[in-house]
Chain A
């Protein structure tokens, strides 16, 4: 069965420091990978996606992620965070073919402190 694991439930970090949010998935078929961000009392906003091609993907708000097929990972990174990046971040996977439902991880709470 396919699954997504976000290894950290909470990540505290100081403003302007770098951050990495970790995501691993399990699948026996080709996957598409996504990161979404959820601000308090809001829906999900797409940060970035990997469908094919370059394994380094750049998204909005200065975030980027790298697809590592051998390690089945898709970690999210930002070189310098801002207070406004405080939010819940969800890694999600869908599968090529079929109807592309998203399977989400449990989320990582990023808390940026001044």
Chain B
């Protein structure tokens, strides 16, 4: 079975530009979450979507936005890029175990802002 797939794998942008990252969840998973991992740190939660609705948002500026499509795939958009947005962006899809969500991660998109 295919895991979580993210595209592109690498991306180079300049300050002020806009970027769109894409994620396809594992088949049957209806929830997608996005995380930002800055070099040398643990991932930080950005968004979670379930059935196309935003369920939660982390402490990120409004330059960050996301959406989920009817096929449960998702896009993360970042406007007006800053140097500090350089990071590995991870997408996770999840299903609900009888007790809680189990999140499975893709390989990530590495964004470099110059």
Contacts and interface: CB of A to CB of B under 8 A. Distances in A.
Central interface residue in B4, B44, B103, B107, by most chain A CB within 10 Å: B103
Nearest to B88: A43
Interface residues on A, range: 20 to 34
A39 B35 CA distance: 17
Interface residues of B, number: 28
A7 to B, nearest CB: 14
Interface stretch (A54-62, A76-84, A98-106): A98-106
A96 B33 CA distance: 17
Interface in B1-50: 4, 6, 33, 35, 41-45, 48, 50
A101 B45 contact: yes
B101 A45 contact: no
Contacts of A92: 42
Interface of A: 4, 32, 36, 42-46, 49, 51-52, 90, 92, 94, 96, 98-107
Interface of B: 4, 6, 33, 35, 41-45, 48, 50, 55-56, 58, 90, 92, 94, 97, 99-108
